[in-house]
Amino acid sequence: MSLDRRQFLDTFGRLGFASTLLPGALYAISAKAQDTRIAAAMIDQAALIAGISIAPDQKTAMLSALNTNLKGFAELRALKMPNSMPPAFVFNPLPPGMVPAAPPPGADLRKPLHISPTPAMATKDVPKDLNDLAFCTVRELSELVRRKKVSSLNLTQMYLGRLKKYNPLLQFVITLTEERAIAQAKEADKDIAAGKYRGILHGLPWGGKDLLAVKGYPTTWGAGGFEDQTFDYDATVVQRLDAAGAVLVAKLSLGALAGGDKWFGGTTKNPWNTEQGSSGSSAGPGSATAAGCVAFSIGSETGGSISGPSTKCGVTGFRPTFGFVPRSGAMVLSWTMDKLGPMCRSVEDCALVMQAIWGPDGQDQAMPPSWYQWNADFDWKKLRIGYLKDDFEKPWEPNDLPLAADATPEEKTAYERRKATEPAQRLSHDYDRKFDTAALDVLRKMGVQLIPVEIPKFPYDAMRTIYTTEGAAAFEEMTLSGRDKILYERSQSSYANGFRTAHFYPAVEYIQANRARTLAIRALAEVYMKVDIIVAPTSGPANQVTVTNLTGQPAVIVPNGLRGADAPPAGTGGRGGGRRGAAAPTAPAGPPDNSQRSGGPNTPLSITFLGTLYKDAEVLAFAHAYQQAAGFLKLHPPLFVQGS
């Protein structure tokens, strides 16, 4: 062949393939040539991409097996497997010798929960305008409903009204479930009047990310071409919230196929700055919860999709341990990384929602026997608390990846753009970091003895090919048929491009990435031998969002204040922090994503608490204590407060 590597890759780029092709390209080369058999010259092309050398006699020996494989691939694709069909293996995040937490002696889920004391507002008269209750916590609303001071129907109508009012601006609703919600609310009021109170969530309106199947309503996955997709069943999480008496008012937006905040209806906005997207991909749950349009919501995370919107929108998000909440009836992006979790106004709200949705359902095989029971009185002081010392203290450093000598014009442009933004990134980093470290001051005042720890060093970004590959398998038919062109975003970082690229990953590299993941799990388990919880900036050099999504740890993302009016402009980079001690404003105003970039003046930030596998209640109890001490529970986007 006279074609050199650069020319060959450029040629494939013009054909619509990414430039990071791997040996799997062999089969695509055959398909592109519309040939039913693989020829020796095609092996040469694939070997060139892989950077390996294959002798002529080796090629001859390979051809028979390769063509047999090609026939087998066609047979597998002819099966037309649905997105919900799992592979014949199950990811287990537990290192050797560790088992999920067992219930303590005498534990009984039938006993009343240990919840926080009755909120003061629950003893007062209910305001005439129920919009004044829009930002109440689950704990507060539940007490009002239990005491019959407000009906579920009235709450539901209030939240439906707010969803309709603010959706044109924020674009967080894909489908209102109004008829279902009104029927559920009336049933809740009837049961409560008859003394059949089901618990904390009874009668409370909630919204679910539109990757959860709900019988009788579309489940669009946020993607063009799926607008009319329906299922004849409810996701397990929906069933469990129905059983708890909660009222589903809306199916909320997600980026197309759970990627970012752009969906077929537009871009979901950040209520704190409506010129920004709300981050992804639990964009709708984050935005709707922050704007006081639901009592709580359910999101999902594969590589930051709860963490990002929680940070951007200033809500409390909880990403449970992998395998703690059943995903049955939810869209699959990655069988070994997807997690469902609550997005709420407080840590205790998340803990109370978890009480309703956790535990095996007999369908999701990635769920071992485990234990969870919320206890607001848990003695968190007995826990050992670590912190990522370098992430809190290390000065900002530019990304000094060198520009390749044979860089393309596009690569040169991207490099120059990145270098030009570095001064602004440094400014934003320095502004935000002082508030990250202020969180450590709050912890020390609480009496916490912080233990410095580090995230073990591994090529975590390389391991992210795991969920790209699994996503490509989950949506293979879309890629093969060319229907991926209907996805909203077609940039280099879009899922459509990622799925196409993943068809060129060899099976060997997918297995190697998973083996490296096992090494990371075992190394991080050694860190957790020293501590029970790790405090981390939501973003930082250790890239904890990526790491702990790979290793399965639970994470609580807690609002940590507001940036001041003097903050650097939006989009200049940043790591978290905020204006501490600010009063609640009252006047109008998956993969890590834009949540890690500065939201600009008067926007929220977060701090993250990482727990031990399957000890979700412990990390929630500690984060609850921090939230009470830090005092950022009543910060709400001013444009949406009190029905304005």
Report the catalytic residues: 209, 281, 305
| All residues at 6 or more sequence positions from 460 whose CB lies less than 8 Å from its CB, including other chains | 520, 543, 546, 547, 550
* Whole-angstrom distance, CA of residue 25 vs CA of residue 465: 16
User: How does DSSP assign 245-274, residue by residue?
Assistant: T-EEEEEE--STTS-SSEETTEEPEETTEE
174 DSSP assignment = E
Tell me the C-alpha to C-alpha distance, in Å, between residue 644 and each of 85, 332, 641: 46, 38, 6
Residue of 428, 392, 430 lying closest to 598 (CA atoms): 428
What torsion, rounded to 10 degrees, do the Cα atoms 470, 401, 421, 391 define?
A: 70
| All residues at 6 or more sequence positions from 451 whose CB lies less than 8 Å from its CB, including other chains | 384, 385, 386, 387, 530, 531
- Token pair belonging to 364: 């999701």
* Whole-angstrom distance, CA of residue 303 vs CA of residue 547: 9
| All residues at 6 or more sequence positions from 215 whose CB lies less than 8 Å from its CB, including other chains | 231, 232, 233, 234
* Whole-angstrom distance, CA of residue 351 vs CA of residue 356: 9
Q: Work out whether strand 205-209 and strand 173-176 pair parallel, antiparallel, or are unpaired.
A: unpaired
Over its C-alpha atoms, the chain yields an Rg (Å, rounded) of 25
Residue of 606, 547, 101, 619 lying closest to 386 (CA atoms): 619
Query: Do 340 and 327 contact (CB within 8 A), yes or no?
Result: yes
- Token pair belonging to 552: 């399965």
Q: Is the peptide bond before 19 cis (omega within 30 degrees of 0)?
A: no
Q: What is the 3-state secondary structure (H, E, C) of 402-433?
A: CCCCCCCHHHHHHHHHHHHHHHHHHHHHHHHH
